[in-house]
A = this chain, B = another copy of it.
Amino acid sequence: MQKMISIENFGNKADFGYDTTLAVFQAVSMSRKYPAATLSFPEGEYNFRADYAYEDYYFISNNGAGLKRSVFSIFDCTNLTIDGQNSLFVFHGLVSPFIIDISRNIALKNIIIDYEKPICSQGTVIDASANHIDLSVTEEYSYRIDGKKLILLGDGWEFPLWSIMEFDAIEKKPVFGSGDCCGGSDLSELLVEKLQDGVLRLKFPVRKIPAAGNLILLRPYLRTNPGIFIKNSININITNVKIYHALAMGVVAQKSENINLEKLNTMLKPDSTRVFSAAGDAVQIVNCRGAIKIDGCLFENQTDDPINIHGIYASIFKIVSENTIILKFMQFQQEGVKIIAEKDEIKFLDKETLLPYLEARVKHVVYLNKSFFLIETCENISQFIKERDLVENISDQPEVEISNCILRNNRARGILISTGGRVDIRSNIISVPGAGIKISGDADFWYESGAVKNVHISSNLFLNCNYVAAWGKAIIDIDPEIKDPEKLPECYHRNILIENNIFQTFDTNIIYARSVDGLIFRNNKIDKTDTYPRYHKERYTIKAEGCKNIVVNGNLFDDAFDPTS
């Protein structure tokens, strides 16, 4: 029995005025009384303020920890559907639209998410030199200048400028060869002055001078509130949801099972001049399990990668007893994320080679604090392991299907994948400035696990990817951070099949592969374009280091594609 609840049961538009937040809280509370419920919004525009939004302390992987407010605070819910009926939801202040926690069978559909004041700002280049950029900033964006530092202002927040990026005025995509901070300029000494109302001069050593008329994206550092945060939940369906903006990543899921994203678009707000959608990755899936399906989505202009699916490596800090160890989180945005639970299977890996040498089952876990947690295993392990080695949760290895999506015009890469589960990347159009697909793994900085075992990349169109050198070595970039992989007995990754794709590219360097056992590149079509000038100094079609069992055949190369010239 599905209980139908309308938001209008909790007031009408006049009651809500500029703030429907409390009505949503009441509606979600009411929905818990029914075994199944749909909360619907008559089509229209709804505003939600942060003031009365529900708050809890969350550690959000790759985003940050803190007291986080959310309007739709969906915790301890089962069988709940939120149907926006294509309404526009406009959020005000530091708040997440949705946090789904300890819930099951939750559907979000037909919703458009935007913010009154985005966390990003932008301006149009009026003039630029090796020492300055003059920007015209419209009234849509608020700022103040504090001792020659630019402070971006919003609704209840202010953050200093941290990073800038040049976007093409017409195509609204990152500019060839520019990347972060206009060619990697050092912004630490950046000074700002106001030339006249709405015109700012940024003074710093500009490494790649932006073109007049192009747009400069202005970003703060903090990722406060993702658009949709999913934690410890099962069976989450997000369908026909448009994210014009999120204050941090678009969708973040951690320690959850079965996530289905269908027609989830992080996209430019129509009829706006914005060059950004979500402020961070569009979709970040961390230590999840089950099936992750991403189908028919448009991911454009978010300020970081469209999709990143990975686990977290923790480091063995102290061996306490035969079966008890203290683990440490190694990257600050992973701290406090409860990546291992009782009954999970874990794998131990050598810190240097990233090769596994032992598996065990977890009997008991205590998260002592955000930095350290203690696990007790069913088996005695102390004699086999050593401090500083890594632990990975191998129960958290989702199967992934990414199909019929368009990925374009964002900062950095396309799809980042690290899971031992079956991965199927099929029929997508990928047009991003960095690697179109990146398969990595490291214990140096990100500590993102883990090795892939079965990846199928087929029937995708890679369209002029990899036009900013800093964001990828090749269009498909498989680069686990392992020293001298050729000296090791085993490879880190396994079984990557790349077939029936079309690579339309202005340059060479289709595949870079490191430490892969079983790489097949077959029946692909490679077309040369003239979109950008070639820039790779080391040119190749496929470069493999420390790999085994490589098969390349049946690929069709445009005559103009010539890595040897």
Q: How far is the CA of A69 from the CA of B370 in the complex (A)?
A: 10
Most chain B beta carbons < 10 A, residue from A55, A69, A368, A370: A368
Q: How far is the CA of A260 from the CA of B53 in the complex (A)?
A: 38
Q: Are A368 and B55 in touch, CB under 8 angstroms?
A: yes
Q: Are B370 and A320 in touch, CB under 8 angstroms?
A: no
A67 within 8 A of B: yes
Q: Are B368 and A53 in touch, CB under 8 angstroms?
A: yes
Q: Are A369 and B67 in touch, CB under 8 angstroms?
A: yes
| Cβ 8 A contact of A57, one of B25, B57, B326 | B57
Chain B residue with the shortest CB-CB distance to A51: B372
- 11 A-B pairs (CB sep. < 8 Å): A22-B326, A22-B374, A51-B371, A52-B326, A52-B368, A53-B369, A54-B369, A55-B369, A55-B370, A57-B57, A67-B369
Within 8 Å CB of A372, what residues of B? 51-52
Q: How far is the CA of A370 from the CA of B68 in the complex (A)?
A: 10
Say how far A21's CB is from chain B's closest CB, in angstroms: 9
Q: How far is the CA of A25 from the CA of B69 in the complex (A)?
A: 32
* 18 extra interface residue pairs, beta carbon distance < 8 Å, beyond A22-B320, A51-B371, A57-B67: A22-B326, A22-B374, A25-B368, A51-B372, A52-B326, A52-B368, A52-B369, A52-B372, A52-B374, A53-B368, A54-B368, A54-B369, A55-B368, A55-B369, A55-B370, A57-B57, A67-B369, A67-B370
| Cβ 8 A contact of A69, one of B52, B53, B369 | B369
Within 8 Å CB of A55, what residues of B? 368-370
Q: What is A's interface to B at a CB cutoff of 8 Å?
A: 22, 25, 51-55, 57, 67, 69, 320, 326, 366, 368-372, 374
Q: How far is the CA of A57 from the CA of B370 in the complex (A)?
A: 11
Within 8 Å CB of A371, what residues of B? 51
Within 8 Å CB of A67, what residues of B? 57, 369-370
Q: How far is the CA of A67 from the CA of B55 in the complex (A)?
A: 15
Say how far A549's CB is from chain B's closest CB, in angstroms: 45
Within 8 Å CB of A374, what residues of B? 22, 52
Q: How far is the CA of A69 from the CA of B369 in the complex (A)?
A: 7
Within 8 Å CB of A370, what residues of B? 55, 67
Q: How far is the CA of A72 from the CA of B271 in the complex (A)?
A: 58
Within 8 Å CB of A326, what residues of B? 22, 52
Say how far A396's CB is from chain B's closest CB, in angstroms: 23
Within 8 Å CB of A320, what residues of B? 22
Q: How far is the CA of A22 from the CA of B371 in the complex (A)?
A: 14
Q: How far is the CA of A402 from the CA of B529 in the complex (A)?
A: 86
Q: How far is the CA of A51 from the CA of B370 in the complex (A)?
A: 10
Say how far A490's CB is from chain B's closest CB, in angstroms: 35
Most chain B beta carbons < 10 A, residue from A25, A326, A369: A369
Within 8 Å CB of A368, what residues of B? 25, 52-55
Q: How far is the CA of A369 from the CA of B21 in the complex (A)?
A: 13
Q: How far is the CA of A372 from the CA of B49 in the complex (A)?
A: 13
Chain B residue with the shortest CB-CB distance to A369: B55
Q: How far is the CA of A25 from the CA of B53 in the complex (A)?
A: 35
Chain B residue with the shortest CB-CB distance to A371: B51
Which 10 residue pairs of A and B lie closest in terms of their CB atoms, listed nearest first? Answer: A55-B369, A57-B57, A52-B368, A54-B368, A52-B372, A69-B369, A55-B370, A67-B370, A53-B369, A54-B369
Q: How far is the CA of A55 from the CA of B57 in the complex (A)?
A: 12
Say how far A97's CB is from chain B's closest CB, in angstroms: 16
Q: How far is the CA of A289 from the CA of B54 in the complex (A)?
A: 28
Chain B residue with the shortest CB-CB distance to A22: B320
Chain B residue with the shortest CB-CB distance to A69: B369
Chain B residue with the shortest CB-CB distance to A68: B369
Q: How far is the CA of A22 from the CA of B374 in the complex (A)?
A: 10
Q: How far is the CA of A67 from the CA of B366 in the complex (A)?
A: 16
Within 8 Å CB of A22, what residues of B? 320, 326, 374
Q: How far is the CA of A33 from the CA of B320 in the complex (A)?
A: 22
Q: How far is the CA of A370 from the CA of B366 in the complex (A)?
A: 27
Q: How far is the CA of A374 from the CA of B368 in the complex (A)?
A: 32
Q: How far is the CA of A397 from the CA of B84 in the complex (A)?
A: 47
Say how far A32's CB is from chain B's closest CB, in angstroms: 13
Q: How far is the CA of A53 from the CA of B374 in the complex (A)?
A: 11
Within 8 Å CB of A69, what residues of B? 369
Q: How far is the CA of A79 from the CA of B57 in the complex (A)?
A: 30
Say how far A125's CB is from chain B's closest CB, in angstroms: 35
Q: How far is the CA of A55 from the CA of B368 in the complex (A)?
A: 6
Chain B residue with the shortest CB-CB distance to A55: B369
